[in-house]
C-alpha cells in the first residue's frame, strides 16, 4: 500500500492554496493536476476548480498544482473517524469531495513522499509532470519543474505510528531556465520612424524582417519570459526603411 503525504515546507501566501472538485477515481496527496477551469456545477463559484490530468499541451503552458495532505481524513456518514486505521497517509480524497491543492509557483518548497513519484528520485534530480498521469517523474517535461533538494523521513500513523516513510524536500524552479517548457510572449517595440526590425535567430543564425503595423509597432514573437532575449534572438536591429 502506498503512503502518500505532501505539504508546503514554508509559509505560502493564501493565493497559492486552492481547492478542486475531486474527479472520478479520486485523488491522493502528491497527485499533480491542471487547475484552470472553475467548477460551474457550484452556484456562483469562482474559487473551486476542476482537476484534470496533464496533457502534452498543458504541461508546456500551464502551471501545475499538487494535492496536499490535511483534508483527506476518512469519515463515516455521521462525520466520525473510522476505527482501525490511524495512518492517514493511506487516505484518499473521494470523487465529488473537495481537495486542497498547492499551486507550484517559483521558489515554493514542498515535501513529497517517495510513493508520490513515478519511479525513484534522488537528491539533485529535476522532476516534472507526465502527460496522462497524476504523478511527477524524472522523465517528465513541462513548464513546472522541481528540484529534489534533500531526503526527509516522515512518521506514519499519528501518535500510534512506529514506522517511517521517506520523502523529498523539493523546490519549484523558475519557469524561465527550467528546461524546454518555458513561457514566451511577444516583444512590442515602438520608435519614431521605425518601419521594421531585422532579427537573427540565436540557434540557426537565420535572419527575418518583421514589419511595423499601422501604428508603427513591431511585434517580435516567442521571446522567453524570465530569461535573456539573446536565448532566442542574437540580435535585433531596427530599420527606418
Q: How confident is the model at residue 84 (pLDDT cuts 50, 70, 90)?
A: low
Q: Give the three cell numbers for residue 26.
A: 479520486
Q: Choose among 59, 55, 149, 139: nearest CA to 110.
A: 149
The whole-model pTM stands at 0.70
Which of left, alpha, beta for 154 (phi over 0: left; psi -120 to 50: alpha)?
beta
Residue 184, H or E segment: strand 184-190
Q: Choose among 9, 1, 59: nearest CA to 168.
A: 9
Following DSSP, what letter does each residue of 9-20 receive, concatenated? SS---GGGEEEE
Q: How confident is the model at residue 112 (pLDDT cuts 50, 70, 90)?
A: very high
173-190 pLDDT tens trace? 986 444 444 455 678 888
pLDDT at 135 over 90: yes
**Contact at 8 Å (CB) between 232 and 223?**
yes
| pLDDT value at residue 80 | 65
88-102 pLDDT tens trace? 788 889 899 999 999
The residues pairing with 155 across neighbouring beta strands, listed in sequence order, are: 164
Residue 174: phi and psi, rounded to 5, are -60, 145
CA distance 115 to 92: 14
Q: How confident is the model at residue 192 (pLDDT cuts 50, 70, 90)?
A: confident
Q: Name every residue whose Cβ is closer than 8 Å to that of residue 161 and which is 6 or more positions away in sequence.
A: 86, 87, 155
**Contact at 8 Å (CB) between 101 and 110?**
no
| pLDDT value at residue 176 | 46
Amino acid at each position: 500500500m502506498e503512503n502518500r503525504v505532501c505539504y508546503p515546507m514554508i509559509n505560502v501566501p493564501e493565493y497559492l492554496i486552492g481547492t478542486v472538485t475531486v474527479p472520478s477515481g479520486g485523488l491522493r496527496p502528491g497527485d499533480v493536476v491542471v487547475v484552470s477551469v472553475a467548477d460551474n456545477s457550484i452556484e456562483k463559484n469562482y474559487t473551486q476548480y476542476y482537476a484534470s490530468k496533464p496533457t502534452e499541451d498543458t504541461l508546456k503552458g500551464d502551471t501545475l498544482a499538487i494535492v496536499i495532505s490535511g483534508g483527506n481524513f476518512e469519515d463515516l456518514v455521521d462525520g466520525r473517524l473510522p476505527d482501525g486505521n490511524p495512518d492517514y497517509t493511506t487516505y484518499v480524497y473521494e470523487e465529488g469531495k473537495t481537495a486542497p491543492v498547492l499551486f507550484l509557483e517559483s521558489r515554493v518548497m514542498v515535501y513529497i513522499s517517495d510513493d508520490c513519484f513515478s519511479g525513484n528520485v534522488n537528491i539533485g534530480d529535476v522532476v516534472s509532470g507526465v502527460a496522462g498521469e497524476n504523478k511527477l517523474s524524472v522523465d517528465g517535461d513541462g513548464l513546472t519543474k522541481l528540484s529534489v533538494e534533500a531526503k526527509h523521513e516522515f512518521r506514519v500513523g499519528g501518535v500510534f505510528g512506529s514506522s517511517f516513510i521517506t520523502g523529498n524536500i523539493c523546490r519549484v524552479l523558475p519557469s524561465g531556465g527550467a528546461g524546454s517548457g518555458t513561457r514566451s510572449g511577444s516583444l512590442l517595440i515602438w520608435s519614431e520612424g521605425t518601419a521594421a526590425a531585422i532579427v537573427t535567430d540565436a540557434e540557426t543564425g537565420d535572419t527575418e524582417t518583421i514589419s511595423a503595423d499601422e501604428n508603427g509597432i513591431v511585434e517580435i514573437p516567442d521571446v522567453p519570459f524570465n530569461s535573456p532575449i539573446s536565448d532566442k534572438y542574437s540580435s535585433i536591429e531596427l530599420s527606418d526603411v
